[in-house]
Amino acid sequence: MGIERLISVARGESPADLLLTNARIVNTFNGEIEEGNVAICDQRIAGVGDYQQGQQVIDLKGKYLSPGLINGHIHTESSMLHISQYARAVVPRGTLAVITDFHEIANVCGIRGIKYMMSCAQHLPLDLYLMVPSCVPATHLETSGARLTAKDIRAILSWENVIGLGEVMNFPGVIAADEEVLAKIACSRGRVIDGHAPGLKGTELNAYLSAGILSDHESTSLEEAREKLSKGMYLMIREGSSEKNLEALLPLVTDKTYKRCLFVVDDRSCADLLRDGDIDAVVRKAITLGLDPVRAIQLATINSAEYFRLHGLGAIAPGYAANLIVVGDLSTFETEMVFYCGELVAREGEALFSPPMAEDKEMTRTINIKPFDIEALQIPAEKWTHPTIEIVPNQITTKKVEERPKVEKGFVLPDIERDILKLVVVERHRATGNIGLGLVKGFGLKSGALASSIAHDSHNIVAVGISDSDIYLAISEVEKLQGGLVIAADGVVQGSLPLPIAGLLSPEPLAVVVEKFEKLQGIARELGTRLGDPFATLSFLALPVIPELRLTDKGLVDVNAFKLIQGKGKG
């Protein structure tokens, strides 16, 4: 009876379940603002026009009505929030659909982790669509907790709400025609296949695209993004907590190109979600940078829906999902009301729902470290110079530089004066005893150490500091907590944020997690760092698919050459 009733309401013969009147409607199809009423029936929009009958009527008094926002590429785990609390953060901001790959938890717990996250999301006022993670592990240059084969991917593609293959990060594997990588792509033919192609150009970009990959979110310069657009890629313009590319890439959004551009955040911290927002923050910033507000909304709604083939999302039109947000002023883009499937789920930034959080004891106690002594953190001074990771501010790319390190008694030491600190990655899934040792420049600590069980993408334990004793203490505390963020200084644990779910997520409410996280950030600043989000920066220093130099549990990785240039230590 659902479609018959929907048609009856659309014809004006039956009253709508909900009637929104006197709206200024953002039409994402033609880019215009239209005045009218919106009739909603059985979770869908029956019609837009001069409707007068509704069992419930809300007069919007000339406020703007926009489709719900769509986050086209997000790793929800990077918020450190359980998916139920993640929803409480983003839904009041107007995000009503997310496309994610659960790549982070999959690298720790495999298929079981993906199933856990999807089951927890079932009863949320948020449409969640899965892109099957293509790179678990991301590379052979690190140790992860799980492995997904082409056979696994083929099976997951048959699940409900699974729409394609997640970002193919192993771009060297694609270019080299690696058999396993190509098998994963082959079993996803006919689906959306997301890309990850930092710095690729020319013939290498051609080779990557020839495999059938459709999009990229790693462009950091106009030149790079322009070439990718010209060769048929969809451009995901990213503005996250650590990766800020909006200002650099926005000039590419023109009347000729905008249909192939969409906004994403990739990774965004719990604090940024609470204080600044999600995709709404990207829309707001784009508007302040001069983009027409309706065009900005198109890049956050209909463009994402059309790229991901999500028919029925991204617009206010007959038959479309009644996922809607009310905005008083498009220039400031602050949401006042949020409707999911025609139900009011948030008002004035406050969630009106309290979803239960599913528990799974198997998702905890995932930290499994082979015991090691503090001496395992020593770096022998074998050469005059040492390859060093140099941080690039506001980006997740790094530079590979050669530095002459400070040496004492035959071992390399951190050099506070030159801001060269020790970086450590400890394998935590299989108790292999692998310990990667290196140097990082630009972190800014003057004392103490930071450690985290969030270390993209295999999520081993990563730590940075000025003394082996504080680094060792911070790592030990992460192990004791069975996952989390820790700061140690002068032999004392200064603060921590436990993340017991897969070493990635907190079971606590949004406000509690943000309070603890911001306290840690304050402590880190007191210890000298001026990085906007030091833990996010730290987490990406172990990611061997972003140029130029990284550290994994297996050693230093030259990403451009895609090989280890310095092996691991042993605990």
CA 455: distance to chain centroid? 13
How does 72-81 read in b/e, with b if 16+ C-beta sit within 10 Å?
bbbbbbbbbb
210 class by beta-carbon count within 10 Å (0-12 exposed, 13-18 middle, 19+ buried): exposed
CA 139: distance to chain centroid? 19
pLDDT of residue 354: 87
Same-domain status, 233 and 151? yes
Q: Which stretch of 70-79, 390-399, 432-441 has the lowest confidence by average pLDDT?
A: 390-399
Same-domain status, 368 and 302? no
pLDDT of residue 443: 96
Last residue of a domain, one of 315, 331, 351: 315
pLDDT of residue 567: 62
Overall number of domains in the chain: 2
Same-domain status, 201 and 287? yes
* Cβ–Cβ under 8 Å, residues 327 and 63: yes
CB atoms within 10 A of CB 303: 25
Could you give the C-alpha distances from 275 to 269, 326, 442, 514, 518, in angstroms and in order? Answer: 10, 19, 26, 9, 11
pLDDT of residue 276: 95
Residue 244 structure tokens: 């800020």
Using alpha carbons, select from 461, 502, 425 the residue that is nearest to residue 105: 502
CA distance 91 to 323: 11
pLDDT of residue 359: 62
247 found inside a domain: yes
pLDDT tens, position by position, 321-366: 999 999 999 999 999 999 999 999 999 999 999 877 656 677 999 9
Same-domain status, 220 and 74? yes
Last residue of a domain, one of 256, 286, 315: 315
Same-domain status, 163 and 292? yes
Last residue of a domain, one of 315, 339, 373: 315
pLDDT of residue 361: 75
Mean pLDDT of 210-222: 96
H or E stretch including 514?
Answer: helix 510-526
Phi, psi of 140 (to 5 degrees): -85, 5
More confident residue, 384 or 502: 502
List helix spans (H) across 289-432.
293-299, 302-307
pLDDT tens, position by position, 97-153: 999 999 999 999 999 999 999 999 999 999 999 999 999 998 889 999 999 999 999
% residues pLDDT > 90 (the chain): 92
143 found inside a domain: yes
% residues pLDDT > 70 (the chain): 98
pLDDT of residue 242: 79
Could you give the C-alpha distances from 336 to 58, 91, 326, in angstroms and in order? Answer: 13, 12, 5
Mean pLDDT of 73-101: 97
153 found inside a domain: yes
pLDDT of residue 382: 83
Phi, psi of 329 (to 5 degrees): -140, 120
Q: How confident is the model at residue 568 (pLDDT cuts 50, 70, 90)?
A: low
Mean pLDDT of 158-186: 95
Same-domain status, 234 and 376? no
pLDDT tens, position by position, 464-491: 999 999 999 999 999 999 999 999 999 9
CA 446: distance to chain centroid? 30
CA 508: distance to chain centroid? 20
350 found inside a domain: no
pLDDT of residue 569: 54
pLDDT of residue 226 exceeding 80, the answer is yes
pLDDT of residue 315: 98
pLDDT tens, position by position, 36-65: 999 999 999 999 999 999 999 999 999 999
How does 379-395 read in b/e, with b if 16+ C-beta sit within 10 Å?
bebeeeebbbbbbeebb
CB atoms within 10 A of CB 105: 29
CB atoms within 10 A of CB 55: 11
CB atoms within 10 A of CB 26: 25
How does 233-254 read in b/e, with b if 16+ C-beta sit within 10 Å?
bbbbbbbbbbbbbbebbbebbe
Mean pLDDT of 257-280: 96
Adjacent-strand bridge partners of 34: 25
pLDDT of residue 1 exceeding 80, the answer is no
H or E stretch including 97?
Answer: strand 95-100
CB atoms within 10 A of CB 24: 17
CA-based end-to-end distance of the chain: 66
CA distance 62 to 82: 37
Q: How confident is the model at residue 405 (pLDDT cuts 50, 70, 90)?
A: very high
* Cβ–Cβ under 8 Å, residues 438 and 412: no
Same-domain status, 301 and 383? no
7 found inside a domain: no
pLDDT tens, position by position, 406-420: 999 999 999 999 999
List helix spans (H) across 56-123.
83-90, 103-109, 111-120
Residue 313 per-residue DSSP state = -
CA distance 338 to 334: 11
Range of the domain at 510: 364-570
Using alpha carbons, select from 524, 528, 469, 467 the residue that is nearest to residue 497: 524
* Cβ–Cβ under 8 Å, residues 313 and 300: no
Adjacent-strand bridge partners of 550: 557
Same-domain status, 386 and 464? yes
Q: How confident is the model at residue 525 (pLDDT cuts 50, 70, 90)?
A: very high
Same-domain status, 306 and 384? no
Same-domain status, 73 and 137? yes
353 found inside a domain: no
Residues 6+ apart with CB under 8 A from 490: 447, 448, 470
327 found inside a domain: no
Residues 6+ apart with CB under 8 A from 158: none
Average pLDDT, the chain: 95
Return the CATH number at 238: 3.20.20.140
pLDDT of residue 391: 95
Same-domain status, 442 and 510? yes
Same-domain status, 545 and 406? yes
pLDDT of residue 234 exceeding 80, the answer is yes
